[in-house]
Every structure is written in structure tokens, then in C-alpha cells.
Amino acid sequence: MLLEALLSKERILEIYLNNVEWGEGVFGAEAAAQHYFHKPASRLSAHEAARLAVMLPRPKYFERLPNSSYLSERAGVIANRLGSAELP
């Protein structure tokens, strides 16, 4: 509650994405983009960004299973919904 009193939700999300572990020793969205897709986060496709989002609950598990059908299917669902998403 203290963070929400001091920071905007956008800033909290930014801090989280720049510090979260996406795999063994892979911290932050930029590092994850470089590690998994060999390019900067700013150049990720919608599907690549969605794959990283799907990995967040279990990053070390999905790091060992990069060809997981769940990971691919779920990322596809998220990427397809991006066009109709409304930002607050």
C-alpha cells in the first residue's frame, strides 16, 4: 500500500519489469529480450513480448522448456488480444 501511495501504477510496473528474474541470472525485461531473442526489448514483436509475459509466473521452469506448447499457445492468445486492449 505504501508503494501505491508514493508511486503511480505505471512506475511500479516499470520498476518490477526492470528487476524481475526471467531465468537463471536474467534480470529485467531488457536482459530477457537479449537472452531469449538476441535483440533489444524495444524491437520485440507482440508475440515475443507476450512469451516473456507468460514466463513470469515460472521463469526458471519455462527457461528449461523453451518449446513448451503452453508457452506458445498462451503467448498467441495474449498477442492476439493486444489490438483490442484499452489502456487506462
Burial of 51 (0-12, 13-18, 19+ CB in 10 A): buried
Q: Is residue 30 part of a domain?
A: yes
Number of domains in the chain: 1
Domain of residue 45, residue span: 12-80
Domain presence at residue 52: yes
Q: What are 10-64's pLDDT values in tens digits?
A: 899 999 999 999 999 999 999 999 999 999 999 999 999 999 999 999 999 999 9
**pLDDT of 73 above 90:** yes
pLDDT over threshold 80, residue 2:
yes
Cα distances (Å, whole numbers) of residue 57 to 19, 39, 84, 86:
14, 23, 24, 23
Report yes or no on 65 lying in a domain.
yes
Q: Confirm whether 4 is domain-assigned.
A: no
Q: Is residue 40 part of a domain?
A: yes
Residue among 16, 42, 36, 40 nearest 28 (CA): 16
Q: Is residue 5 part of a domain?
A: no
CATH number of domain containing 41: 1.10.3810.10
- Reported confidence tier of residue 87, pLDDT bands at 50, 70, 90: confident
Round to whole Å and give the CA distance between 58 and 75.
14
